[in-house]
Amino acid sequence: MKKKLLSILLCGTMIGSMLTACGSDGAGNGESTQQQREAGNSSEAGNSEAENSVEQSEAPAPAEVTPEALPDAFAHYTFDGEDEGYTIVKQANKADDSVNDGGTYDIVPSDATPIYADGAVGKALYMDSTYALDLNLEPTNTDVYTVSYWVNARFFFDFGPTLQVGYNIGRAADVGNNVTWINVTQTGWGADNAKLYPTIWSRNEASDAQDGTDCWPWMSGWDDSTHGKQEWAMITIVCSGEKQDGPNGTTTVGAQYYLNGQLMYDSNDNYTNHTYWEEWTWDASLAPNVMQPGDSEFESYFGINYWDPLYVGYVDDLYVYDQALTAGQVLSLYQLGDPSVSVEYFDVAAGAGAAEPAEPVAADHSDVEITGTLVGAQDCSTAFWTEFSDVVAVPEGESVTVNFKNYTSQLENWNNFVVILQNVADAHSADDNADYKEYVVVRADNFGWGDSYEGATAECDWNWDTFKADIDGADVELTITNNGGTADVVAEVTSAEGTTYNQSYKGIAVDGDLYYCLTVDGSFIDIQ
């Protein structure tokens, strides 16, 4: 049995979090880079579509593994209740002097009292969505390391934080910062948008790194499954560090992912022997330099990031090793725990009568009357880069205006309309079209990508505290202007309550014909 799993569509979808701020206030697009569609540009996000649409071979039969003695750990948290060096933290509104110019929030200490209960190994720590952990880890300063932990989530949500470690996680990469991280999260990047946990997504946007290996690789078990949701699962990521040179000049490093002590995926084996894929896919791996990019600030969190709601669930026995564990050692680590231990999911510890946390669900738009042309499904299930409006020409020296209503799932800031500027009239992708050029792709939440994006000026006056509600059901007047050599995209957005906001991308470089079309992501539009 063979199945197509990787495509550039996933690479576009994955960049929903952790990226650029809006204007000067840095509120920006939400964990979307976690949270992030900067890597939707194929030169950064992954291989070309042709390279990515490869056939997956039958997974190799598991090799027989014998437990082996474990080395000393670089760091180990038991979460049994004693002081182990981690700090209880929460999100807060960004300070005026915040350095987190790529994030929506700051992360600050919290006075919450953590909850401990029986776990897979002794006691475990429960997070109820009001607090999380700054692990205060030190970097291993090597591209050979292992991280492992037990997880039992009440629920996951896409790009939501579990383990995230790296340098300058909340910084914008385009201001000269070394931004690198591993983010273990849930995504909808499986076949037919199946949920995957863990998705081990990593980033090296280290603009000051000596090797310049910018990349956004990710890997999983490719099994279209969520593990660790209301069950104990041990997640182990081994960075074995072998250099893997991709076809577009990007370098990743060899890595292995284990679930409950069993090897699920080995990027180095696939790179060398094509064990998992008939063609090697470079972005199914790990980014280099996550633990060693230099003198920047190293960060390590569990259950929190700079964009998304906090994690709800348990974490237990988290290990870091400054070496690559063998399959036998990973099995030995797993055998220290008991996945059959039952747990209780506690209500939010914010006082008597506090509401129990609920799994995020999309806003209901079933009663919306469509009066024009619908793009996207009314239940907001449409995945990124799957449905498009008609392509419209914008002649040189002229402006074209389109009016539509925008509806969003309200789950993430990027679940809204997206504008594509291109040079051809008959396609929205490079399939079977050698003349296709995508000048830029820009989103409602003030982020974008493409060859002409870096030179453009992006501005907006969104109230980020109310953005998701304001833009749901809003009337949008979108104007695209072809100045000859440059283009502008300007949106006047009026909320259902009557508040008007303005957003613009100006000075987009254009070196030929100009056309635009619209697409959606977890949203839909009604074009009037």
CA angle 283, 289, 294 (to 5 degrees): 155
What is the mean pLDDT of the segment spanning 178-198? Answer: 90
Lowest mean pLDDT among 208-217, 279-288, 395-404, 508-517: 208-217
pLDDT recorded at residue 432: 66
What is the mean pLDDT of the segment spanning 378-396? Answer: 93
Query: Under a CB-based contact definition with an 8 Å cutoff, are residues 289 and 109 in contact?
Result: no
What is the mean pLDDT of the segment spanning 147-156? Answer: 96
Structure letter (DSSP) for residue 12: H
Q: CB atoms < 10 A from the CB of 378, how many?
A: 16
Which residue type occupies 22? C
pLDDT recorded at residue 436: 86
What is the mean pLDDT of the segment spanning 486-499? Answer: 97
More confident residue, 414 or 210: 414
Query: Under a CB-based contact definition with an 8 Å cutoff, are residues 35 and 218 in contact?
Result: no
Which among 73, 80, 97 is positioned nearest to 146, based on CA atoms?
73
Q: Which helix (H) or strand (E) holds 165?
A: strand 163-167
Residue 8's φ and ψ, nearest 5 degrees, are -65, -20
pLDDT recorded at residue 158: 87
Would you say residue 211 has pLDDT above 60?
no
Question: Coil, strand or helix: which one is 143?
Answer: coil
State both tokens at 459: 């501005």
Intra-chain end-to-end CA distance of the chain, in Å:
45
Residue 269's φ and ψ, nearest 5 degrees, are -60, -45
C-alpha 225/C-alpha 265 separation (Å) is 14
Residue 198: asked if its preceding bond is cis (omega within 30°), the reply is yes
pLDDT recorded at residue 373: 96
What is the mean pLDDT of the segment spanning 224-228? Answer: 96
pLDDT recorded at residue 46: 33
C-alpha 356/C-alpha 128 separation (Å) is 9
Label residue 349 by pLDDT band (50, 70, 90).
Answer: low
C-alpha 334/C-alpha 262 separation (Å) is 9
C-alpha distances out from residue 416 to 57, 412, 471, 499, Å: 36, 9, 8, 18
Query: Under a CB-based contact definition with an 8 Å cutoff, are residues 253 and 244 in contact?
Result: yes
Count Cβ neighbours within 10 Å for each residue of 119-130 and write b for 16 or more, e otherwise: bbbbbbbbbbbb
Lowest mean pLDDT among 3-17, 203-217, 265-279, 314-328: 3-17
pLDDT recorded at residue 172: 81
The pLDDT mean for the chain works out to: 84
| pTM higher than 0.85 | no
State both tokens at 470: 């304001």
What is the mean pLDDT of the segment spanning 242-260? Answer: 88
Q: Which CATH number fits domain 3-334: 2.60.120.200, 2.60.40.10, 3.40.50.300, 3.10.180.10?
A: 2.60.120.200
Label residue 453 by pLDDT band (50, 70, 90).
Answer: confident
Structure letter (DSSP) for residue 31: B
pLDDT recorded at residue 20: 34
Label residue 52 by pLDDT band (50, 70, 90).
Answer: very low
C-alpha 286/C-alpha 167 separation (Å) is 15
Which of 29-43, 295-309, 490-504 is the most confident on average? 490-504
Count Cβ neighbours within 10 Å for each residue of 237-254 and write b for 16 or more, e otherwise: bbbbbbebebeeebbbbb
Which residue type occupies 459? E
Query: Under a CB-based contact definition with an 8 Å cutoff, are residues 267 and 202 in contact?
Result: no
Domain positions in the chain are 3-334, 373-527
Question: Coil, strand or helix: which one is 264?
Answer: strand
Query: Under a CB-based contact definition with an 8 Å cutoff, are residues 523 and 407 in contact?
Result: yes
pLDDT recorded at residue 28: 42
State both tokens at 145: 């390391």
State both tokens at 19: 């990226």
Which residue type occupies 187? T
Label residue 15 by pLDDT band (50, 70, 90).
Answer: very low
Q: Which helix (H) or strand (E) holds 45?
A: helix 42-45
C-alpha 391/C-alpha 136 separation (Å) is 50
